[in-house]
Structure 1
């Protein structure tokens, strides 16, 4: 069994005209939502074997904030440059190349690619993953190279607005 958590980076700031897209940081809502979603994952007793992230500042910041809540060592976050500009097909290739020693992987990336990837790998369809949203998919497979829609099971979908009243 392989478990994949696909997480969209938290809300980023557009207030820095001189920064490239890749360098945009999280805004205050993003800095609050990322650890909150990390706590939501921790409350489900989620402990990923591997946490991978896009190299974009907003994604890597989200990954680090979530890692802290999951007691995952931030210096063990693996940056995969290809996640940043990947389309769903390329992200699928990255997923199938994950190390088989990792049974569960949390991948932090970008939309619309994450929504498209969920729709490609799952029988459940999503319109749009909001910032800091997480989808969990289980795959009845022993290797990442074997994951596909036919052996997937949609486990959960969570996002910050589910937790506003807490």
Structure 2
């Protein structure tokens, strides 16, 4: 059995005058959401033995804040391919994971993460969690899937079971979408 946990970076700041998208930091709401998500992960028993992440500043800061809430250091393997990757590139990265690991946390960006969930989890009638992912995979959302395989290379489209989907607003309504002005 393999477990794949996807974590999108938290809300970033568009007000920061950085030159490259890669360098955009989190805003305060994003830091708060990531810390709360980390605490939720700890309380819910979300465990992982390998972390692969985009080295973009907003992902680095997300994992730092998640670690504060989780209460343990998170030491990812930084992989530039995760930055703004498609679902197929992300699946290639998953396929390359060490089979000695049973639970992989992959942290990066949309639309790749959302599209990866939709690729791996079959569209079955009545699956409210998958339908919610299809509606939107917001910043700092967490999706956890299980696969009845012994090797990461054997993960294929439509073979996953979505066992957890949590958005920051599920933990604190104030972390939901901003009200339009």
The residue number in structure 1 matching 2:138 is 130
Q: TM-score of the superposition, structure 1-length normalised? A: 0.92
Matches within 5 A, 1:19-30: 19-30=19-30
RMSD: 1.6
Distance of 1:142 and 1:72 partners within structure 2: 27
- Which string of whole-angstrom CA distances, capped at 9 and with x for unpartnered residues, describes residues 62-105 of structure 1? 1222233334433x221111000311111110111111111001
Are 1:154 and 2:168 counterparts?
no
Hey, what does 1:63 align to over in structure 2?
A: 63
Deviation at 1:42, TM superposition (A): 0.8
2:67 partner SS: helix
Number of residue pairs matched by the alignment: 165
- Give 1:109's aligned residue: 108
Distance 1:163 1:36 in 2: 8
CA contact (8 A) 1:12 1:25 kept: yes
Q: CA shift at 1:127, angstroms?
A: 2.4
Whose radius of gyration is greater, 1 or 2? 2
Aligned to 2:80: 81
Match of 2:171 in 1: 163
Q: Separation in 2 of the partners of 1:132 and 1:32? A: 10
- 1:100 equivalent to 2:99? Answer yes
Q: Distance in 2 between matches of 1:72 and 1:146?
A: 30
Q: Per the alignment, in what secondary structure is the counterpart of residue 154 of structure 1?
A: strand
Aligned-partner Cα distance in 1 for 2:18–2:43: 39
Shift of 1:165: 5.7
| Aligned mates of 2:120, 2:62 — CA distance in 1 | 23
Between stretches 149-158 and 115-124, larger displacement belongs to: 149-158
Q: Extract unaligned runs of 5+ from structure 1.
A: none
Structure 2: 5+ residue runs without aligned partners?
123-129, 175-181
Equivalent in the alignment of 1:50:
50
More displaced 10-residue stretch of structure 1: 112-121 or 43-52: 43-52
